Structure 1
Amino acid sequence: MKNFLKLAAAALAVLVLSGCATKPPVPYDYTEYKLSNPKSILVLPPVNKTPEVRAPYSMLAQVTLPLAESGYYVLPVSLVDETLKENGVTQAQDAHELPSAKLREIFGADAALYITMTKYGTVYQVLDSNTTVTAQARLVDLKTDKVLWTGSATASTAEQQNQNQGGLAGMLITAIVKQIVGTVTDQSHPMAGLTSRRLLSAGRFQGLLFGPRSPHYNKEADKPR
C-alpha cells in the first residue's frame, strides 16, 4: 500500500510539472503603449554590466536599423551621446537617471529607450567556447513617465554550431581555436547586431509594436507575431 501511494504521488508530481512546462506564455499588455502611441524614440547610451568596455558602443551602433524598420523616427544616437556629454552627462547610468521631462525638453522625443547590456564576449569552457550577447530594454513615455514596454534578447555563436565529432582532443582544440578567433575578430559585434534585431524588431511575440512609419502600423493583432 505504501509503495502504491509513493508511485501515485510521483505520477501526480510528473503530471503537475508537465502541465507547468506546457503552459503557454502570457501575451504582453500593450494598453499603455497604444495609448501613448510614440512616433519618435530617443535611445540612451546603454548601461554596461559586462567586463567589456566596447559592449554599449557595439549595441548602440546597431539599434537604429531595427527601430527604423519598425516604423519609428530614431534620434541620431551619436548626436544624442555627444549632446549628453556636452551637458556633463558622461556616464550611461547618469543618463538613465535623468528625469523624463528633462529628456523631452532637450530632445523632444515621444519615448526613450533604456538598454542594459548583461552579457558580451567570448567565454572559454572546458569543451567549448561561445560568444554571447544579451541585452534588456524598456521603453518609457517621456510625457507621462510610464513604462510602455520591456523586453530582453540574446544571441550566441552556439546557435550555428554543429556537434563536434572529433573526440575529446578535437573538442578541446576546437574550443581553444574558437576562443582565439572570437577574441581576435570580435565575434561579439555581429552577435550584438542579432541581439538588437531580436530585441527591437516589431512583430515579434511580446516585442515592440509597429510605429506610424511602418505599413503594418495599426494592422497587427494585440499579440505581435
Structure 2
Amino acid sequence: MSNRLNILAALAVSVLTVTACAAPLPPPSYDYSAFRAEAPRSVLVLPAHNNTLNVDAPEYFLSTLSAPFAERGYYVFPAHMVKSTLEESGLSDTGLLYEAETSRLGELFGCDMALYVAINRWDSQYVVLATQTTVEFEYQLRSCESNQTMWRHTEVMTYSPQASSSGNPMADLLAQAIVAAVEKAAPNYMPLARQANLFAVNRRGQGLPSGPYLPELYQQDTEAFPSTTDAPADSLSLQ
C-alpha cells in the first residue's frame, strides 16, 4: 500500500511540474517606435464590423468605444456623428469601409488615426446549469496619413455568473439554474465590452501610449510602452 501511495504522490508531483512548465508566457511588448514617430492626437471611431450572428452587437458596442480612448489622452470624434457622415458619404457598409484607404477618412474628417474593430464573438452559451457569456474584439488603429497599421490588439472577455451558496445542495443547484437561465435570457454584454475596451487600451506593453491630452503621462510612459530607435518608421512590429 505504501508503495502505491508513493507512486501516486510521485505522479502528482510530475503533473504539477508539467502544468507549471506549460504555463503560458506573457505576450511580448509591441515596439511603439512608429506610433511615437507619428505622434497622433486624434482618433476616428468607425462603426464595428460584425462577424457574429447578433445583428444588434455593433450598435451596442459602438456606445462603449469612445470613452477609453478619450481617457487615454486622445481627441475622439463623436462616434454617432461619424456614423451619420459615413452614411451620407456612401460608406455605410463596413466591409467596403474597412477595405478603403484610411487616408480617405483623413481627407473627410481631418483625423490622425482611425479605429477599426471587428466583433468576432458576442454570444452566450448554456452548458449544464451554467451560462458563459463571451465577447472577442480585434482592434486596429491605422494612420490617416500613411494608411499603415499603427496598433493592433485582440481582447477576449468571459463572464459566467455564480449563485451564492446557501449550504443546501438542492437549493444551491436550483439557484444556479435560475441564475444561468437569467443570463442566457438577457446576457450581460455591455459590462464585458467596456471592460475589454479598457483592458485593450491600458494593458502595459500591449495598449496605447498616453496621448497629448493626458499631459502628466504624455511621452513619460516609454518604459511601459517601449520604442527602439532602429524600428522601421512605417510599420508596427513585435519585439
Counterpart contact for 1:44–1:96, Cα < 8 Å: no
1:41 is aligned, of 39, 43, 50, to: 43
Contact 2:73/2:211 (<8 A) preserved: yes
**Structure 1 residue 205 and structure 2 residue 205: aligned?**
yes
- Is the CA contact (8 Å cut-off) linking 1:71 and 1:210 kept in structure 2? yes
CA RMSD of aligned residues (A): 2.9
Give runs of ≥4 in structure 1 deviating > 4 Å. 14-20, 162-173
**CA deviation after TM superposition for structure 1 residue 146, in Å:** 1.4
Corresponding residue for 1:183? 185
Shift of 1:90: 2.1
Q: Cα–Cα, structure 1 residues 177 and 40, in superposed 2: closer, same or farther, change >3 Å?
A: same
- Normalising by structure 1, we get a TM-score of 0.81
Q: Find 1:146's aligned residue among 148, 158, 169.
A: 148
Q: Which has the higher helix share?
A: 1
Counterpart residue number, 1:87: 89
Moved more, 188-197 or 22-31: 22-31
Q: Is 1:218 aligned with 2:219?
A: yes
* Aligned equivalent of 2:30: 28
SS state of the match for residue 140, structure 2? strand
Q: 1:2-13 alignment to 2 at 5 Å?
A: none
| Distance 1:172-1:115 versus aligned 2 partners, 3 A rule | farther
Equivalent positions of 1:88-103 (< 5 A) are 88-103=90-105
1:183: Cα distance to partner? Answer: 2.6
Residue correspondence of structure 1 range 112-151 to structure 2 within 5 A? 112-151=114-153
Q: CA deviation at 1:59?
A: 1.5
Aligned length: 212
Gaps of 5+ in 1: 1-13
1:190 CA displacement: 2.1
Does structure 1 residue 157 correspond to structure 2 residue 148? no
- CA, structure 1 residues 166+37, in 2 after alignment: closer, same or farther (shift >3 Å)? farther
Deviations 1:122-161 (A, max 9, x none): 2111231022221110111111111111112122222x64
Look up the equivalent residue of 2:220 and give its one-letter code: K
Identity percentage of aligned residues: 31
TM-score of the superposition, structure 2-length normalised? 0.76
Distance 1:103 1:19, change over 3 A: same
- Residue 56 (structure 1) aligns with: 58
Describe the shift of the 1:30–1:76 C-alpha distance in structure 2 as closer, same or farther (beyond 3 A): same
